[in-house]
Amino acid sequence: MFFGMYRMKSVRQVAVIEAVIDVGEDSPAKILWRNVGTPDAELVSLAIDERNRLRPGSPPHRFFLLGQLHETNFMKTTKGGMRPPKQYFDVEKLAPIDAADLAEKLRGKSWSNY
C-alpha cells in the first residue's frame, strides 16, 4: 500500500502506491494492482505519459504510480548498504490512515524496531 524511498541508510520519503501498471511498446498497458478509485483509463494514461516522458521507445516497464511524497526518516542502523535491493516492512500495527500519518509514525524510528 505504501512505497518508501531509500537513500543514505534511511527511508527519506513515503507515498501511497496508487497503482502498479505494466506498459509495453506494442501491447496494451495492464493494471497489476490498484489502491485508488481512479478510473482505469486515467491510470493507464498516466503510466503511458510517464513512459513517453522518461523512457520513450523503451522496452516494457513496470510503473508505480505514487501519491504525494511525505518526508520521514526511517533509519537503517545496521552496517553496510541495503541487501537485497527491496525491503518490506509490515506497518499495519502502526495503523496509518494515509502516507502523511505513516511518515510521522516512522520519523526517527529504526529498522531494527521491525
Range list of H helices, the chain: 40-54, 99-106
pTM of the model: 0.85
The tally of domains found in the chain comes to: 1
User: pLDDT digit string (tens) for 65-111?
Assistant: 999 999 999 999 988 877 788 888 999 999 999 999 999 999 999 98
Range of the domain at 74: 2-113
Q: Is the distance from CB of 62 to CB of 20 less than 8 angstroms?
A: yes
CA distance 62 to 82: 22
